[in-house]
A and B are shown apart, each in its own frame.
Chain A
Amino acid sequence: MIISEAWFDDPLVRPYAVTGGRTRSTTLGLDLITLVVATRSAAEATHLDPEYAQILQVCQQPISVVEVAAKIKLPLQVVKVVLSDLITQHLMIFRSANPANEAPSQHILQAVLDGIRRL
């Protein structure tokens, strides 16, 4: 997880340097719209690398994985790996979207329809 400042110059290498080269295998099934929220403030987690601290910071309120990626301007896959690490370290909790093989309940569909009508 230790990355040297020298890496920061290279836009291609850097994102995966953040994750130590890991991509898909370690992401706890995080989806685009999995919601995450930090359980600690960045100030309480001073041991973290800068990217990790930054992500913890933007997750002080519940936020989706894809929004974290948009805010931090790192590729999605990288953000998923960092979030998984933070979850595994109990610095973050998450809630997966409805499993894809499970049809959304009529209750949720109705709520979405009502919400769109109210726009």
Chain B
Amino acid sequence: MREKWARRIALLSGGLVVALAVVFAYSQNPPDRSAPAHTPAATPVTPAADSVLVELGQRVYAEQDCARCHSIAGRGNPRSPLDGVGARLSAAEIRRWIAPSREPDALSDSFQARHANLTLTEPQREALVAYLRNLR
């Protein structure tokens, strides 16, 4: 008898928790807004001379697990999409995001900390910048 009630209460609490989680996810993503959330990036325009560099940059992006925090065309962590970043930021700005300076600036501490984990050589960083600049 008491077991039956315990199971009922367990079901009730479990149901409430899952319902609340669904409400949270739904309220974060109302159906009318969710459609444009994953717009695939427009076809990148790659000048022939840069294509090797861009390809290398894409490899660096994969090797460094950038998708853990970023997404491109719906793949990866949707929290910080990089779609169209090339149209929004200049090469210098992208470089500053990737390797933030030690001085306190506009970038928050937690971003600094995240990117501090990156182990990039100079050519790798330039390739990554080229790849990201190419996302328009």
A binds B: no
